[in-house]
Each structure stands twice: as C-alpha cells, then as structure tokens.
C-alpha cells in the first residue's frame, strides 16, 4: 500500500511516500480502507520530535490521527463491526497511521460514521471532537448557564468546541480575527474578541472554564478571567505530574513535568483554580455520542480545504501555517 511516513524526526523535511505492506489485523481489530484522513497540528509536532519523550514511536512511522473509511476485514473477536461498515476513528496512540491506503484499528476506537456526513466531513471530526468532548464534558462537566472561554475559535478544536459548549447550554467567549466573527456567531459564540486589537483580560470576568490552546503567556493570562473554583484546561501544555502519573511515564518525565508546570500550578493554587493538561485519548464510545449530536444537527463539521492524497505534504504545510479555518482533510478516493 502507499503511505506517507517519516524515517527520522525533523521539522523541515517532507513526509516520504513509501510502499508498505498492508497491515495484518489482530483478533480485536478491523482493517479499514481509508477514504479520507484529517490533518492535525499534532502530526507536525510528532514529525518534528516534539513529543518523542511522551510518545516514543519506533521509526519509520506513518503519520495521521483521523480516519473515515470502510471496514474490509474484521478480526475473529470483533463484535460491533462487520465488513462493509462505514466508520470513523481517531486510532489510539502507537496505532496511528491514517496517511495511507489502509489501517488496522482496535474496535474500541471505532464508531459508525454519521449517516449525514461525507467521508471527508467525517474524517475532520475525531481528534478535535474527542478533544472538545474530553475538555467540556469529561473534565469540566459543563452545566447549562456556565461561562466558557475557548481560545482560537476558528481553529479545528475551536470550531467544534464552540458548537459543543453551546449545545451544553454554556455562554461562549472566543478569540479570532474580526473577519471570522460572523462565522463564529453562526456557530454559537456569544462574546467575540479580536486578538489583534483587543486583550481578553480586559473583557472577560468570572468565567467557569478556559480551554487553553495557545502559548504559555496566554495561559498565564487566562487565570485572570476565571473565578475561584473554576477550571483552566490546556491542550498545549505544560503537562503536569498528574498527567505523567496517568500515562505511566518514566520517573525522569515525572520529574520534568513537575518542573515544567511548577509556575502554572503555583498560580492556580494561589487563585484557587484547578489547572490540568489534556492529551486527548481515543474512544469509540465517545465518538458514538458525538455521532448522535451530528446526526441530530447539533454540530456540523467545518472544513477549510480538501487535498488529494498525493498533496499530503501540502496539506500538512497548510495546517502548520495557522491559516486554516476549521479542519484540513486529505481525500484518498
């Protein structure tokens, strides 16, 4: 099969198109013929080696964390899927590889594709959808009437999180450029802040939750808009000792996370605010919940551009540029 892979960690070098063996499935896995794959900044960060201590992959490695496609083989112990099923998934860490023609995925990470979405639309959902779900539903336990500040509302995670927060009954504030305001209003944003000319610290007060996806300076400022007892959840770091413990990272990584997050944890403790780092995990069960919301029309995919498979490097470069409004997708078929 054709696949785009890396043979070493390097930021500037392009992905390499290679001929690789078709995956051999285990008893609890399905083999998926890939029709579309989402592209995420996480792919770029893994390519550059930024996560090699947290995710020690063996090289060469096929990248890609989002997939929509058709089951073409099912393992002997697979219970919930059969050949011909249209599915979507964010494969587990160490099982990624959606920039390819086929992938083997554990059935626990798979969900049936929403019937009202195309393959390209479905491939745009898993990683950002699960990230937003785990921040807002799982960690925040968001309730109707609460206030949430979602940074970078026009990005992949942002466009999904704004819609999910609104569905949960929250008042939503977000940052974006002014040209995206109308688009974000239509998604459900209540308070729109132009990050080029305004400072969110001057506008927001007593928020219940912040979803931080930006740099350390923005993260520190975020504590100024959260009320005591509120939550700041970051998907861009720094990771905490609790995260290291949860992931069963080696002792030196536990030590490193303690050092890296010490300043933020001190700020959080002083303000009586909960701080946590989220590195989303695969979950077919949560994706099935998301499927229900999509089929009910509560959440819609937001796609900026679709690239052909042979333009995978161009797709990754476009994501790295930071210009994408919503998601970038690779179309296989």
Of the candidates 107, 59, 54, the one whose C-alpha atom is nearest the C-alpha of residue 85 is 107
| pLDDT for the residue 129 | 98
Of the candidates 308, 305, 310, the one whose C-alpha atom is nearest the C-alpha of residue 326 is 305
Domains of the chain, start order: 2-124+301-331 (3.90.180.10), 127-277 (3.40.50.720)
Give the tokens for residue 57: 């992959």
Is the pTM here over 0.85, yes or no? yes
Give the tokens for residue 60: 């060469």
- Burial group, residue 143, by CB count within 10 angstroms (0-12, 13-18, 19+): exposed
Per-residue pLDDT of the chain (333 residues; tens, 9 = 90+): 999 999 999 999 999 999 999 999 999 999 999 999 999 999 999 999 999 988 999 999 999 999 999 999 999 999 999 999 999 999 999 999 999 999 999 999 999 999 999 999 999 999 999 999 999 999 999 999 999 999 999 999 999 999 999 999 999 999 999 999 999 999 999 999 999 999 999 999 999 999 999 999 999 999 999 999 999 999 999 999 999 999 999 999 999 999 999 999 999 999 999 999 999 999 999 999 999 999 999 999 999 999 999 999 999 999 999 989 999 999 997
- Burial group, residue 14, by CB count within 10 angstroms (0-12, 13-18, 19+): middle
In angstroms, how far is CA 28 from the centroid of its own chain? 25
Of the candidates 314, 5, 273, 293, the one whose C-alpha atom is nearest the C-alpha of residue 149 is 273
| pLDDT for the residue 146 | 98
| pLDDT for the residue 333 | 75
């Amino acid at each position: 099969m054709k696949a785009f892979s890396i043979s070493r960690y390097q930021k500037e070098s392009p992905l390499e198109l290679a001929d690789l063996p078709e995956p051999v499935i285990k008893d609890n896995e399905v083999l998926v013929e890939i029709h579309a794959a989402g592209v995420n900044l996480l792919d770029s960060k893994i390519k550059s080696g930024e996560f090699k201590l947290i995710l020690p992959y063996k090289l060469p490695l096929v990248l890609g964390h989002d997939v929509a496609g058709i089951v073409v083989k099912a393992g002997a112990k697979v219970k919930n899927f059969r050949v011909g099923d249209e599915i979507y998934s964010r494969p587990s860490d160490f099982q990624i590889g959606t920039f390819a023609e086929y992938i083997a995925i554990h059935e626990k990470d798979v969900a049936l594709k929403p019937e009202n979405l195309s393959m390209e639309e479905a491939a745009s959902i898993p990683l950002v959808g699960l990230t937003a779900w785990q921040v807002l539903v799982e960690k925040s336990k968001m309730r109707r009437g609460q206030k949430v500040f979602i940074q970078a509302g026009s990005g992949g995670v942002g466009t999904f999180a704004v819609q999910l927060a609104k569905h949960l009954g929250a008042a939503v504030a977000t940052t974006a450029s002014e040209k995206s305001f109308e688009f974000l209003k239509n998604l459900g944003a209540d308070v729109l802040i132009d990050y080029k000319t305004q400072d969110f610290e001057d506008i927001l007060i007593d928020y219940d939750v912040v979803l931080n996806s930006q740099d350390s300076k923005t993260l520190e400022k975020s504590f100024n808009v959260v009320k005591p007892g509120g939550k700041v959840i970051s998907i861009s770091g720094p990771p905490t000792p609790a995260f290291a413990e949860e992931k069963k990272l080696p002792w030196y990584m536990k030590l490193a996370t303690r050092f890296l997050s010490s300043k933020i944890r001190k700020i959080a403790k002083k303000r009586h605010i909960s701080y946590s780092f989220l590195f989303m995990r695969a979950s077919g069960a949560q994706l099935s919940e998301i499927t229900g919301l999509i089929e009910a029309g509560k959440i819609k995919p937001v796609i900026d551009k679709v690239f052909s498979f042979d333009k995978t490097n161009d797709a990754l470069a476009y994501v790295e540029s930071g210009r994408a409004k919503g998601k970038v997708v690779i179309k296989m078929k």
